[in-house]
């Protein structure tokens, strides 16, 4: 099975729901909120800015475009109907926010429509990321800002000692759920080639805190995927899930991944 995020709308509803719940848990973690704030609060937008998030998931990051970046309106485009439904349920009362089903490769928007386009952990799931970057260039106004943030996936780990078996679940989950592990090491070249002027590039360390809610979803999904792929028997996978929870309870759990943000401007 290839990266399910790359064609989430085509997955069965139960998987879309599971991924939506994991994304929501990630969005709400204070350490993740801090990462988004660190790069979105630095965007310098006009007072009436029109914003777009591509790959908007459950809509929390789209809302940051208003609350953190200061846009006047923000639209989220997302292929998964389950995600779009969740976003509308959470934020449908806010007239400044809207969400639709759509594809970042072919948004259907007119040229020069937006002041800012955001891709938060989208590009790593897209098989042809340069097509999405070109589409963003087309729909941005001159002077418009593109903000990209994604994991630097090779840094993901739950390892606390040599040969820690829990780490294998993280690596397997990433291997099976990310299309391009190296996107943030490649994207600057892609942006320059498309015609963007490069702005700030920053690294953001994410360390799982307290109950490690999001990291446990990664552990569980890695373990379940290992069962599906017949790498582990179910009993072994359950034992590893229990190991993770016991570490959380005993304050010995460690989960880390680096994120990288890149800002660019359309001349
Ligand atoms: C890891 S989630 C991130 C969601 C949200 N940005 C967040 O950070 O919570 C990636 C999202 O990108 C969406 N996606 C994948 N391919 C896409 C495409 N071609 N166009 C638009 N969205 C896409 C997936 O459906 C998924 O909801």
Distance between CA atoms of residues 100 and 83, nearest Å: 10
Distance 198 CA to ligand 1 centre (A): 23
Q: Which residues contact 179 (CB under 8 A, 6 or more apart)?
A: 2, 3, 5, 6, 124, 125, 126, 127
In this structure, the strands spanning 256-265 and 140-157 are antiparallel
The Cβ-side half-sphere exposure at 1, using a 13 Å CA radius, reads 20
CA 176 vs CA 20, 83, 232, 264: distances in Å: 17, 20, 15, 30
Q: What atom in ligand 1 is closest to the CA of residue 55?
A: 22
Homologous superfamily of the 4-153+179-207+259-265 domain (CATH): Vaccinia Virus protein VP39 (3.40.50.150)
CA of 222 to the centre of ligand 1 (A): 19
The structural domains of the chain, with segments of one domain joined by +, span 4-153+179-207+259-265
Q: Which of 243, 255, 237 is nearest to 156 (CA)?
A: 255
Alpha carbon of 5 to ligand 1 centroid (Å): 7
Q: Are strands 197-207 and 256-265 parallel, antiparallel or unpaired?
A: antiparallel
Query: Residues 152-189: pLDDT tens digits?
Result: 999 999 999 999 999 999 999 999 999 999 999 999 99
Residue 12 structure tokens? 């069965």
Cα 253 to ligand 1 centroid, rounded to whole Å:
28
In this prediction, residues 9-22 reach a mean pLDDT of: 93
The whole-number pLDDT of residue 91 equals 97
Question: Does 4 sit in the ligand 1 pocket, CB within 6 Å?
Answer: no
- CB of 153 within 6 A of ligand 1: the answer is no
């Amino acid at each position: 099975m290839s990266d399910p995020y790359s064609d989430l709308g085509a997955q069965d509803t139960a998987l879309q729901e599971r991924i939506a719940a994991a994304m929501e848990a990630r969005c709400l973690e204070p350490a993740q909120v801090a990462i988004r704030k660190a790069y979105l609060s630095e965007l310098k937008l006009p007072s009436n800015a029109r914003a777009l998030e591509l790959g908007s998931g459950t809509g929390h990051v789209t809302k940051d475009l208003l609350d953190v970046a200061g846009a006047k309106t923000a639209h989220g485009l997302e292929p998964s109907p389950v995600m779009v439904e969740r976003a509308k349920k959470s934020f449908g009362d806010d007239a400044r926010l809207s969400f639709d089903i759509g594809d970042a490769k072919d948004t259907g928007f007119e040229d020069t429509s937006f002041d800012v386009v955001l891709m938060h952990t989208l590009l790593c799931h897209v098989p042809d990321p340069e097509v999405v970057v070109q589409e963003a260039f087309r729909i941005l106004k001159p002077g418009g800002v593109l903000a990209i943030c994604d994991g630097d996936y090779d840094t993901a780990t739950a390892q606390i000692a040599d040969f820690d078996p829990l780490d294998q679940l993280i690596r397997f989950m990433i291997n099976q759920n990310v299309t391009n592990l190296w996107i943030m090491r490649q994207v600057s070249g892609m942006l320059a080639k498309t015609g963007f002027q490069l702005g700030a590039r920053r690294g953001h360390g994410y360390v799982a805190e307290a109950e490690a809610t999001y990291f446990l979803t990664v552990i569980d999904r890695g373990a379940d995927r290992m069962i599906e792929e017949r790498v582990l028997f179910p009993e072994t996978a359950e034992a590893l899930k229990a190991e993770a929870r016991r570490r959380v309870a005993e304050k010995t759990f460690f989960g880390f991944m680096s994120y990288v943000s890149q800002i660019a401007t359309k001349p």
